[in-house]
Amino acid sequence: MNYLIGVDVGTSSTKAILYDQNAQVITQANYGYELHRNAAGMAEQEPEEVINAAEQAIHDVATAADLSTGKLLAVSISSANQSLLLLDKDKKPLSRLITWADSRAQRAADNLKMMTEGQQLYMKTGVPVHPMSTLTKLLWLREDEPNLFSRTAYFADIKAYLFYRLFNEFKVDMSIASSTGLMNLKTCDWDDQALRVTGITKDQLPEIVDGTTQATGLVPEAQEKLGVPANTPFVYGAYDGALSNIGVGATKQNTVAITIGTSAAVRVVTDHPVIDPERRLFCYAINKGLWVVGGPLNNGGDVYEWAVKHLVDSSAVKNEQVDPYTLANHVIEGVPAGAHGLLFHPFLGGERAPLWNAKARGSFFGLSHIHTRADMLRAVMEGISMNIATVFQAVRALVGEPASVTATGGFARSKVWRQMLADILNCPVNVPDSFESGCLGSVVMAMQSLGMIDSLDTPQKFIGKVSSYQPDPTAVKVYQRYTPLFQQIEDMLAPAYSEIAKLQERQNN
């Protein structure tokens, strides 16, 4: 038997999965690490913790491969995008890893939005101007941390740094590069205007390579830690969102992929770049000839986790006799669609699409004496889904009506949430049994790199069983009344977000 390993370097942990040559899961390993946050919007990680987690996860699953009779064909890597690590002349970290969730560049983003160059850069790079993008992080660092910025010899994301540690080569896959706001969509190279605006040079950035590019020749220290043959090909892969599309077979324009994990995203793959004239959506290159259009949302499962933590009050939960999420889902099932007229805006962590406003904050609307904790729980789940529907509508308007939606992520463990999503979108929702679409997508990209398959269209046998949810006409009618109101209130509150964020920061510091 031959093997492949898919690795997903995520925001809270790194997961590695060992597959056979038919993409069937053999074993997996997962290692977590801390995300350091503060009231100013910081969201950083210790890069060494992330590297150690990736190395340990790969090592653990590799030990389950019988390399006496088979071969490890490749390791392929997925990671979150829009992270930034500052390196010195020896490519050693000068800072912690600034993750995609860091919003301290809000002022830099606001300033760039008001400039003609902000619009020009979006049209050239496909990346909306927002504080989580690498481009605006660079502007913020140059302004607020000039000494650190001037001492930086190289700028990397976490995956480029991981490959550097493993192979001593400084390269980045095209999809990660495309999401920085620094890569030109037409040339698939670093954009001169973006470099000029940020005050950096091309020499300070990794070389951009296609995601199917292989690195071989592990440095001795890395080979010892990983426990895999030194000549094992490591495939650069792509960012986690694009690979999630590939992993669920959503590689055609008529299938939208939605992920609801810690955060959320709505994405569709196209064979040409599609730029949103309203600048709501991103357009990233996956590789030459394949693009992904969509919107990332900050607020997904982490908001539901917050709600369950604070709203599920049961002695059985406290005594650990009942799982709080099982109880929450049961309670939500007993509340009708619309939560008795209660709406929730889930912007606990600011928001990227559709608002692109790191100062956005959450709120309940319509709260009255009749409402209970159960209503509030349902409103939270509905609010997360309605926010996703807003981005879904923008994608649909730009690329056309999809035939179906394929949804993945931790939310899929909740049957009531699966049905709710179909009802709010008013579109069939297909949910694969396997939640690990990012790792599977990375393995599919490795298979193409190795010549095992011709394209990134994932064979159905790799995906496995899929459950389908059809919109319920009664619930659809309810949500068709509430979703426009959700969006109207969102627009009305927008001017107040900056003020409440300012007051919160003043009080909490």
Distance CA 235, CA 213 (A): 6
Band of pLDDT at residue 28, cut at 50, 70 and 90 = very high
Band of pLDDT at residue 321, cut at 50, 70 and 90 = confident
The CATH number fitting domain 299-390+473-508, selected from 2.30.40.10, 3.90.550.10, 3.30.420.40, 3.40.50.2020:
3.30.420.40
> At residue 87, does pLDDT exceed 90?
yes
- The strands making up 404-408's β-sheet, listed across from edge to edge, are 282-287, 290-297, 264-270, 255-260, 404-408, 429-432, 466-469
Return the CATH number of the domain spanning residue range 3-249.
Answer: 3.30.420.40
Q: What is the mean pLDDT of the chain?
A: 95
Convert the pLDDT of each residue in 445-484 to its tens digit: 999 999 999 999 877 888 888 999 999 999 999 999 999 9
In the chain, % of residues over pLDDT 90: 87
Pair 350, 301: CB distance under 8 Å: no
Give buried/exposed letters for 156-190 (b at 16+ CB in 10 A, else e): bbbbbbbbbbbbeebbbbbbbbbbbbbbbbeeeeb
| Total residues found in the chain within this entry | 509
Question: Radius of gyration over alpha carbons of the chain, in Å?
Answer: 22
What pLDDT, on the 0 to 100 scale, is given for residue 288?
A: 84
Higher pLDDT residue, 48 or 39? 48
Q: For residue 240, which of 317, 341, 158, 135 has the smallest C-alpha distance?
A: 158
- Token pair of 45 as six digits: 């990680």
Pair 296, 352: CB distance under 8 Å: yes
- Token pair of 235 as six digits: 């495939």
Transcribe 15-62 into DSSP letters: EEEEEETT--EEEEEEEE---EE-TT--EEE-HHHHHHHHHHHHHHHH
> At residue 433, does pLDDT exceed 90?
no
What pLDDT, on the 0 to 100 scale, is given for residue 175?
A: 98
CB count within 10 Å of CB 205 equals 21
Element (H, E) at 8: strand 3-9
Q: What is the pTM of this model?
A: 0.91
Q: For residue 392, which of 260, 239, 304 has the smallest C-alpha distance?
A: 260
Convert the pLDDT of each residue in 476-505 to its tens digit: 999 999 999 999 999 999 999 999 988 998
Distance CA 447, CA 159 (A): 20
Element (H, E) at 267: strand 264-270
Domains of the chain, by residue range, sit at 3-249, 299-390+473-508
Q: Give the amino acid at 118.
A: G
Band of pLDDT at residue 436, cut at 50, 70 and 90 = confident
Higher pLDDT residue, 282 or 322? 282
Convert the pLDDT of each residue in 280-309 to its tens digit: 999 999 998 999 999 999 999 999 999 999
Whether 299-390+473-508 and 3-249 are alike in CATH topology: the answer is yes
Higher pLDDT residue, 79 or 101? 79
Band of pLDDT at residue 316, cut at 50, 70 and 90 = low
What pLDDT, on the 0 to 100 scale, is given for residue 505?
A: 84
Q: Give the amino acid at 106.
A: Q
What pLDDT, on the 0 to 100 scale, is given for residue 258?
A: 96
Convert the pLDDT of each residue in 132-180 to its tens digit: 999 999 999 999 999 999 999 999 999 999 999 999 999 999 999 999 9
> At residue 319, does pLDDT exceed 80?
no
> At residue 418, does pLDDT exceed 80?
yes
Distance CA 138, CA 198 (A): 6
Element (H, E) at 478: helix 473-508
